[in-house]
Structure 1
Amino acid sequence: HLRLICRSCSEISHLSITDCPSLTDNCMKSIGSLKQLRVLNMADCLLITDTGIKSLTDGPCILRLRELNLTNCMRISDGSMTNLSRRCKRLAYLKLCYLDQVSENGLELIGQMDQLISIDITGTQTSDTSLKSLGNSGNLRSVTLSSCRQITDLGLTKFATSCTNLEYLNLSFCTQLTDNAIRSMAFCCKYLTTLNICSCSLLTDMSLQYLSGVCKYLYEIDISYCQLITDKGLKYLRRNSHYLKRIILIECPNISRAAIDKLVLKIPYVQYHYTNKPSELAK
C-alpha cells in the first residue's frame, strides 16, 4: 500500500509512518523516490535496516529532505550513519534516539554534517569523543543528550567550546556531569534559552550560580531530582535570571517551601513536588 501511495502521490512533502511493524526495507526505495519530501518520521519502524536507509539515501528525496526521525529503529547501525553523512546534505533536523547498534564511530560521522541545526541522540552510545566530533557541526541550535551516561565534564566542555550558538540543551540523566561542566557550558553558550539538567545528581548550587550569572537569556530550566541543589541555588535564579519564565523542580528535597513561595512571586510558571504532594503554581 505504501508503494502505491508513493507512486500516486509523488508530491508528498511530509510523511509520518511511525510504529509500523510491517514496514520493511522493500518500501524504502519508493519513499526515496519522493522528490518533494522534506520531513520523514519513521520512529519505531523496527524492521528497517541499513539496506533500507541506503535505498532511501540513493533516491532523489535527499535533494530536499530537511527532517528525519529514526528513533528506535533498532536494526540501524554505523552503515546508515555513513550514508546519511555522505548523502543528506540538506538535512537540518535529525533524531537518532535509542539506536543501540550505532557505535561511537557511527556517531562521530554525524559530526561531519555541518548543516545540522537540531539533533537528538537520546540513549545512544555517545561518549566524550563522539560528542567532541558532534561539536564540529557549528550551526547546531538544539541538542538533546538525554541518558547519554558516558558523557563527562571533559566531553561537554569540548563540545560547548565549538557550539557557542546553542539555544536548547537537554542533559537529563547525564549522571557523570559536575558543576565544572555546567560552568564551561555556561561561559561558552551564552545564548542558551532552555536547559534540562533533570537527574544530574552531582550538580549543586554552583551550577545555578554560573547559569544565572552568564546565560542572561535563559527562559526555561528543569532541575528535577537534582538533590544537592538548595534554596541558595533558587536565590541565584530569582535574582539574576531576568528572562526566566519556567522552572521545573520535582523531587528537590533540599529546597524549602519558603524558597518556592518566593520563586512563584518572580517566575510565572513553577512546577514542583513538595512533601509528596504534586503541585503546580502558575501566576
Structure 2
Amino acid sequence: MSEADVFYSCGSCGYPLNLASSNRVTSSIGSKYSKSIKKGYISFLSIDLSRFTQVDEVNCLPISWAHHGSKTKLLCRKCGVLIGYGYGDSTAFCGLDSPTSSSSSYKKIMIKIRALQPSEDRLSLLARYGSNLQSLHLDCCLGITDHGLFFVASGCPSLTILSLYRCNVTDIGLETLSQSCFGLKDVNLSYCGLISDHEAESCKLEPEGIMGIVSGGGLEYLSVSNLIWCIQGDGLLSIGAGFATNLRVLNFRLCRTVGDETIVAISKGCPLLEEWNLALCHEIRVAGWESIGLNCQNLKRLHVNRCRNLCDRGLQALRNGCKRLRILYFTRCRLVSSTAIEIFKCLRSDVKIIEEEIMCIAPDWAFQL
C-alpha cells in the first residue's frame, strides 16, 4: 500500500470495508472513467469479500446476452446497505452468501461512491495537500470525529465551505475549526447528534459551540434549526455579539426557546441579514418583532410561520419597518387578525405574502463547488 493510501468504510454505519484507494482501477482513466465517476461508481481490482454479504441477482436472460455474465449485489456485512456490484461468471443461486470466496471470481467490481466514507486518520493527508482547499463535504461520514476535524483545521486554512451533515463531531471540534479556518462562510451542522448531547436528534449546542461557529467573523450562512437546549435560555445570543456581522442568511426554524433578548441582539448585530427563518419560534414577542422592524433594514425574506406570539402589534412593527422586505412567509399565526393582514397588504403592496412553509432556506451559493 502507498503512503497516501485511503481506506473506505460503509457510509451508512461506518463498518470498515477494507477498500483501499490504491486498489482502484485507474488504467482506463479518460472518458470512460469520467463517465463512471459521473454515474456515481468507481471500479476496484479486488475486494475483501469477508466484509460483504453477497446476493446473486436472478436474470431471466441467457448469460451469453449479458456483458459481464452474472451480477451480484455486495451488501455491507454489518448493516446490509448496498455498497456495489460484482460482475462475473458465478453460477451461484440467488441469496447465496459466500464470504470465503475469492474476489478474483468477479471480472468487474463497481462500488457506489455515495456508499463510502474515508478513514478518519487519512484526513491527515490534508496537511500536505489541503492548503488551497476551499470546499469540503463530509456528509454522513459517521467515522469523522473531533480528531478528524483537527486534521481539517490544521491542513485547510483556506476553507470557506464545510458540510458536516450527520458527522459525530462535538463543540471541541468546532472550536478547533474556529481557531484556524478564519475564512469559513458556510457550515452545515444538520443532525450532528453528538454536539453537546449524544441523545439529541438534531444539534444540541452549548453557547460555547455557537461562539466557536461564528467567531471566525466570515460566516454568511448559518442553519441551526431544531435546536434543543440543555441549559436555561436559548443560547444563541452570541450570534448577535459582533462576530457575525457578515451573516446574510439565518435559519432558526423550530428553535422554540429563542426569545426577545436574542432577537434584539441579532437584529442589531447582523446588519447585512437578508433572509431569516423564524418559523415556529414561539417565544418571540412584541419587543422582538419591533427590533426586527427597526434594525433589519436589509431583510428581504422573513419566515414567521406558526409563531404563536406574533400578534397585530408585531405585524405592524414589521409593516412599518423592514423597508427592503419583499417576501413574508406567513401561515397559522393565531394572534394576528384578518384586519391586520389586510392593512399590511394595503400599506405594503411591495411585499408578497406567501402562505407556504419552507423547510430549507440554504442559498444557491451555499455548499457549491
For normalisation by structure 1, the TM-score amounts to 0.75
Matched, 1:106 2:173: yes
Q: 1:164 to 1:92 in 2, by over 3 A?
A: same
TM-superposed deviation, 1:21: 5.7
1:226-252 CA-to-partner distances (Å, cap 9, x unmatched) read 111112111111111110001112222
Matched, 1:256 2:332: no
- Structure-to-structure mapping, 1:142-181, within 5 angstroms: 142-150=221-229, 155-161=235-241, 162-181=243-262
Letter in 2 for 1:103: T
Secondary structure, counterpart of 2:236 in structure 1:
helix
Identity level (%): 21
Secondary structure, counterpart of 2:276 in structure 1:
strand
* Residue 83 of structure 2: aligned partner: 22
Letter in 2 for 1:133: G
Q: 1:177 to 1:200 in 2, by over 3 A?
A: same
Q: 1:138 to 1:9 in 2, by over 3 A?
A: farther
* Root mean square deviation, CA, Å: 3.2
Q: Which shows bigger deviation, 141-150 or 262-271?
A: 262-271
| Alignment equivalent of 2:214, drawn from 127, 131, 135 | 135
CA contact (8 A) 1:46 1:74 kept: no
- Structure-to-structure mapping, 1:1-283, within 5 angstroms: 3-4=24-25, 8=29, 22=83, 45=114, 47-48=116-117, 50-51=119-120, 54=123, 57=126, 60=129, 62-99=130-167, 101-112=168-179, 113-124=181-192, 125=195, 126-150=205-229, 155-161=235-241, 162-265=243-346, 266=348, 267-272=350-355
CA–CA separation in structure 2 for the residues paired with 1:167 and 1:142: 6
Secondary structure, counterpart of 2:319 in structure 1:
helix
* Residue 9 of structure 2: aligned partner: none
* Residue 41 of structure 1: aligned partner: none
CA–CA separation in structure 1 for the residues paired with 2:283 and 2:226: 15
Secondary structure, counterpart of 1:68 in structure 2:
strand
Q: Which runs of 5+ in 2 are unaligned?
A: 1-20, 42-80, 85-112, 196-204, 357-369
| Bigger proportion of residues as helix | 1
Letter in 2 for 1:269: K
TM-superposed deviation, 1:17: 8.7
* Residue 74 of structure 2: aligned partner: none
Secondary structure, counterpart of 1:48 in structure 2:
strand
CA–CA separation in structure 1 for the residues paired with 2:312 and 2:26: 58
| Aligned residue pairs, count | 247
Larger Rg: 2
1:192-211 CA-to-partner distances (Å, cap 9, x unmatched) read 11111112121123211101
